[in-house]
Amino acid sequence: MQQTGEVSFYGEGSHPSPAVAQNLMENWLDGVGEVVEVRRGDVVDGTIVSVAPTEILIDVGCKCDGLVSGRELERMTTDELDQLCIGECIPVYVVNPEDRDGNIILSINRARAQRDWRVAQALFDSGDIYEGQVSGCNKGGVIVNVGQLRGFVPASQLETRSIGLAQNSAPRDDDSRWEHLIGCKLKLKVIELDRNRNRLILSEREAGREWRQVARDQLMEELKVGDVRSGVVTSICAFGAFVDLGGADGLVHLSELSWNRIDHPRDVVHIGQKIDVQVLDVDKERQRIGLSIRRLKPEPWDEVAGNFEVGQIVDGTITKIVDFGAFARIGEHVEGLVHISELSESRVNHPGDIVQEGEVRPLKIIRIDTDQRRIGLSLKQASEDAGEWEDDVEDGPEEDGAAEIV
């Protein structure tokens, strides 16, 4: 017997089969749409349905819309707020699935942070190189953002060329020590990541080491003897200067810096200087590149052939004094040696007793060795020739009967 008060949509006293009941339930859900359940900490996609100065409503598929509070909006920039348009689909973070008023509290910034943490985690897991721009600094290092995350590059993880101490005269404990790097883009690797401590540590050294190896291998394959490349001077030592060609450093030996005699490479180049160099040698096995600066400038001996000859008297500037003589420049890029035996008719204990650096003296060219690229000069023979010329001048009038009698 049918119980009183029971109402059935399938006829009095009848019940649907389980299959029919399931079908009816599915049809009902299709009609009203799927209801999404969210939990605290979820990151879900939502559609903006309303934008107001004090709040933003976002449809995340639940029975009610989610709410982004005005407090969060106050922390957003004008550009970020302008991008929040009705109908825009954005990721949001569930702060509270239901507050005391029944609202779903959402956060846009925390969703972006979660997304950026996933990006940082992927960089950490893969070891890929990330290029970021320096946004700030303190005395311990520099700050580089990964999305909205503040990554930190300690001073110990900066490369020498980024440290650029030559460009920065601030004390080592001064917050402004790294200011010259703000706005610069650095190649970095994530070396430490801790979301619970909000800690993201980056390294330029690690990225640079890996990037340079790849760039070096590629450059070593591309370079050919005779190539002309642009580079930056990265370091200077007593025997030459190292030039970064874009991933690999080549050496310009002291002898290849200038056609003139120089005492130290810093007389010709300085760190950070951009220069053109010619490739002299590529040793793939030893991973070494030989470069030259002077080969890109006119060959001084071209000047010698056209302007100088043995027996010629020229003005020479004393450039360097050594125990065995003195070097003198007789052209823009040409130097010759005045041997100690050619300084004076008298015995000379040291060339510095006769000439001084910077002096301009008349010199006679007594030897030109094209094969060895050497020029021999003589001060004493130039003086003898000058004396003979003066004697000729003095004797001349007497022969002509025009000498003055005193």
Q: Sign of dihedral through CA atoms 210, 213, 218, 223?
A: positive
The residue from 113, 137, 158 where one domain ends is 113
Torsions phi, psi of 24, nearest 5?
Answer: -65, -40
Number of structural domains in the chain: 4
- By C-alpha distance, which of 245, 257, 233, 254 is closest to 282? 245
- Does residue 188 belong to any structural domain of this protein? yes
- Does residue 21 belong to any structural domain of this protein? no
Does residue 259 sit in the same domain as residue 319? no
Please give the Cα distance from 190 to 158 (Å, whole number). 13
The residue range of the domain holding 165 is 127-209
Does residue 384 sit in the same domain as residue 305? yes
- Does residue 231 belong to any structural domain of this protein? yes
Place of tokens 């030996």: 253
Does residue 200 sit in the same domain as residue 236? no
Residue 59's DSSP bridge partners are: 47
Does residue 152 sit in the same domain as residue 194? yes
The residue from 176, 209, 242 where one domain ends is 209
Question: Could you tell me whether strands 249-253 and 288-292 are parallel, antiparallel, or unpaired per DSSP bridges?
Answer: parallel
Does residue 304 sit in the same domain as residue 384? yes
Does residue 140 sit in the same domain as residue 97? no
Q: pLDDT 10s digit of each residue in the chain, 406 long?
A: 444 443 333 334 444 455 544 554 554 445 445 556 888 878 888 888 888 888 888 888 887 788 888 788 877 777 777 778 888 888 888 888 888 878 888 888 888 888 888 899 999 999 999 999 999 999 899 999 998 889 999 999 998 666 654 344 445 556 678 888 899 999 999 999 998 888 999 999 988 888 877 888 888 888 899 999 999 999 999 999 999 998 788 999 999 998 877 889 998 999 989 999 999 999 988 889 999 999 998 777 777 777 888 999 999 999 999 999 999 988 777 889 999 999 999 999 999 999 999 999 999 999 988 778 889 999 999 887 655 544 444 455 444 333 332 2
- Does residue 230 belong to any structural domain of this protein? yes
- Does residue 98 belong to any structural domain of this protein? yes
Alpha-carbon 374 to chain mean position = 42
Does residue 384 sit in the same domain as residue 356? yes
**What pLDDT is stored for residue 385 in this prediction?**
65
Does residue 93 sit in the same domain as residue 141? no
The residue from 88, 113, 138 where one domain ends is 113
Please give the Cα distance from 389 to 164 (Å, whole number). 60
Does residue 307 sit in the same domain as residue 375? yes
Does residue 195 sit in the same domain as residue 140? yes
Please give the Cα distance from 364 to 389 (Å, whole number). 14
CATH code at position 375: 2.40.50.140
Residues 6+ apart with CB under 8 A from 146: 116, 119, 120, 123, 130, 132, 190, 200, 202
Q: What does each C-alpha distance from 205 to 135, 211, 218, 252 come to in angstroms?
A: 19, 10, 20, 25
- Read off the pLDDT of residues 151-198 as tens digits, 9 standing for 90 and up: 999 999 998 666 654 344 445 556 678 888 899 999 999 999 998 888
Residues 6+ apart with CB under 8 A from 351: 321, 322, 323, 324, 325, 326, 338, 340, 343
pTM over 0.75: no
Pure H helices in 247-378:
300-307
Residues 6+ apart with CB under 8 A from 340: 323, 324, 325, 348, 351
Does residue 383 sit in the same domain as residue 306? yes
- Does residue 199 belong to any structural domain of this protein? yes
- By C-alpha distance, which of 105, 96, 110 is closest to 68? 105
- Does residue 248 belong to any structural domain of this protein? yes
Q: Quick one: DSSP state of residue 294?
A: G
Alpha-carbon 291 to chain mean position = 20
Does residue 310 sit in the same domain as residue 272? no
Q: What does each C-alpha distance from 210 to 194, 204, 237, 289 come to in angstroms?
A: 24, 10, 25, 19
Q: Which two structure tokens, joined as six digits, stand for 275?
A: 């220069």
Q: How many residues in the chain?
A: 406
- Does residue 393 belong to any structural domain of this protein? no
